[in-house]
Amino acid sequence: MRALTILLSFVFIVTACNKSPQSKHIENEESHDIEVAAENLSTIDFEVHGMTCTGCEKAITSSIDKLEGIQSVTASHIDSNTVVSFDKLKTDPEKIKEAIQSAGYVVAAYVEVSTEE
């Protein structure tokens, strides 16, 4: 019985959320149908540490989605980043950073992504 418990524990640990990259690159993306005037739209790329799986990506997108004015969120545990487009009249990068941190992750840095062509 003890050997079975150890074996099942080992299998669970091996198959649980791990840090090894997967061959499939799946990003967790949420998009919302909110209208944002072009001059009020801002896109920020957050460098996020601590994401190890798609579950982590979902936790971050869910936390950010609770904020007002979010247009889209794309989180990638492989690239260690989260890109957020939002209405800068309704929220700001610091509030988004706090949402990521409240989900249990570390924001190392963030930079505004240029939307000009």
We report the CATH number of the domain holding residue 104 as: 3.30.70.100
Question: For the chain, what is the domain count?
Answer: 1
Flag whether 59 is in a domain: yes
Residue 20 lies in a domain: no
Query: Domain for residue 30, yes or no?
Result: yes
Number of residues that this document lists for the chain: 117
Q: How many CA atoms lie within 13 A of 88 on its CB side?
A: 10
Question: Containing domain of residue 78, as a range?
Answer: 26-112
pLDDT of residue 22: 41
Query: Does some domain include residue 107?
Result: yes
Name residues whose C-beta falls within 8 Å of residue 34's C-beta, 6 or more positions apart in sequence: 69, 70, 71, 87
What is the predicted pLDDT for the residue at 98? 98
Can you give the pLDDT at residue 36? 74
pLDDT tens digit at each of 117 positions of the chain: 777 676 666 555 555 554 444 433 344 555 555 677 888 999 999 999 999 999 999 999 999 999 999 999 999 999 999 999 999 999 999 999 999 999 999 999 999 998 665
Query: Is residue 14, in this structure, part of any structural domain at all?
Result: no
The answer to whether position 65 is within a domain reads yes
Radius of gyration of the chain, Cα coordinates, nearest whole angstrom? 17
Q: Does any domain span residue 15?
A: no
